[in-house]
Amino acid sequence: MPFLQQIYLDNTIESYIGVAITILIALLLKRMISKYLTAIIFRLGKTQWRGMDKREFDQIIINPLERIFLIIVIIFSLDRLNFPAALVFTIHKVTSREIVDAITSAIIIIAIVSLILRFMDILVQVIKHKSAKPQSPSEHQLLFFFKDFIRVVIIIFGLVFILKFSLHLDIGNLLTGLSIVGAAMALAARESLENLIASFIIFFDKPFETGDTVKVNNINGTVERIGLRSTRIRTVDKSLVTVPNKQMVDSILDNWSSRNLIRSEIKTVLSAQSTSVELQQAIGGIKEILSGKKEVVSHTVFLQEIGNDNALISSVYFTPLKLSADEVNELKQDINLQIRKMQEAQNIKPPTSRNVILVEGTQKAGI
């Protein structure tokens, strides 16, 4: 037909229609073809994917396969067309055709890197399924740590390939130049590198694991994630605090999850004019209160000191590790109230008005 042979932008209408039909067919069939390719890959590596659900495998791999299939079809279809002379121009000795080729190569490389990253997700799932025993939080976190690390390496290689095949740069000379730049950047990013090294120390030395309750730099809470640069801690106030890994390694860290008992301390202040009988009554009353608490494993009550203004009784008791922070605080509150009721019932003198009633508690690792 004469109409189909008309030429626009150096290509016939028939050529445009052929390309459009090819792309349309690819759009319609990409899901079916991707599912078919996924089924073949799953069948070929059936022994490797053992224990992994087929539906889970499909969800990870189908989308990047669709993307690559569609990109390849579009590129090869458009490559059948002549590059329009009207669109030819030069920018700093670079032609428009070279720019299009560079963009095309970059898109293909990005699609392939995306597919490789998805295979990394599959590999992580396979390792989890093949584990003979349930993974501990540390092993689980370590697996995802190395997945993130390898992901970064793959992305870096992808950028290098883009520089090589899209921009046609000499990688050797580029790496030589980057080594100097990298040294300068390493000095500028010293803190980030220190955090990265600290993350490896955390994973191999294991001072704490994901799920542990820790206290560091006056921050206490549960470790939710250990990353390449920082550790995320969920505090008792339910806020998410991000602590650089270097601080987690360099600071004094108290791992509460490693305790076998919870140590709590209550200090009760009485009047300095209290008689020895009143002090003995107070000590005996506190011991009786602590003995009556089933949560208290052991306790010690003693007269710590007698000053000019007050007398200080220290009560140390231990509770099981299974108690939550809220339960420990509720128990301490109950003990404090009972101590006050005991003082009122036995008419034990409180501190004088110029003194401050001190009731405080600390939690430390039990021995």
Per-residue pLDDT band at 334 (split at 50, 70, 90): very high
- Mean pLDDT on 88-99: 83
Provide the pairing of β-strand 298-306 with 310-320.
antiparallel
Distance of CA 73 to CAs 67, 69, 96, 231, Å? 10, 6, 22, 44
Q: Is the pLDDT of residue 360 over 50?
A: no
| Residue 347: per-residue pLDDT | 83
Which pLDDT tens digit goes with each residue over 278-331?
889 999 999 999 999 998 988 999 998 888 888 889 999 998 878 877 888 899
Helix (H) or strand (E) holding 79: helix 54-79
15-47 residue pLDDT tens: 888 889 998 998 898 888 888 888 887 777 666
> In a 3-state reduction of DSSP, which class is residue 70?
helix
Please give the residue that has the higher pLDDT: either 359 or 322.
Answer: 322
> Can you read off the two tokens belonging to residue 197?
């090294």
Cα–Cα nearest to 244, from 257, 259, 232, 261: 232
Q: Which fold has domain 259-365?
A: Alpha-Beta Plaits (3.30.70)
Q: Are strands 11-12 and 90-91 parallel, antiparallel or unpaired?
A: unpaired
Boundaries of every domain in the chain:
3-130, 202-257, 259-365
Average pLDDT over residues 273-280: 86
Instruction: Output the CATH code of domain 202-257.
Output: 2.30.30.60
Quickly state the pLDDT bin for 343 (edges 50, 70, 90).
Answer: confident
**Residue 275 clears pLDDT 80, i.e. is over it:** yes
Neighbour order of strands in the sheet with 213-216? 240-244, 230-235, 219-226, 213-216, 253-255
Task: Give the pLDDT confidence score for residue 49 in this predicted structure.
Answer: 59
Average pLDDT, the chain: 80
- d(CA 187, CA 189) in angstroms, rounded, equals 5
**For the ranges 3-17, 41-55, 72-86, which has the lowest average pLDDT?**
41-55
Beta bridge partners, 305, equal 312
Per-residue pLDDT, 355: 43
Three-state SS at 259: coil
> Quick one: what percent of the chain has pLDDT higher than 90?
9
Strands 261-271 vs 363-365: parallel, antiparallel or unpaired: antiparallel
Cα atoms in the 13 Å half-sphere on the side-chain side of 217: 12
Tell me the pLDDT band of 187, cut-offs 50, 70 and 90.
low
The fraction of the chain above a pLDDT of 70, given in percent, is 81
In 3-state terms, what secondary structure has residue 233?
strand
Region 265-282: mean pLDDT is 87
Q: How many C-beta atoms surround the C-beta of residue 223 within 10 A?
A: 25
pLDDT digits (tens, 9 = 90+) for 239-251: 899 998 888 888 8
Q: Of 274 and 290, which is predicted with more confidence?
A: 290
Nearest to 162 by CA among 113, 91, 92: 113
Specify the residue for token string 């121009």. 89
- Please say if the pLDDT value at position 159 is more than 80: yes
Residue 362 is predicted with a pLDDT of: 45
Distance separating alpha carbons of residues 39 and 201, to the nearest angstrom: 41
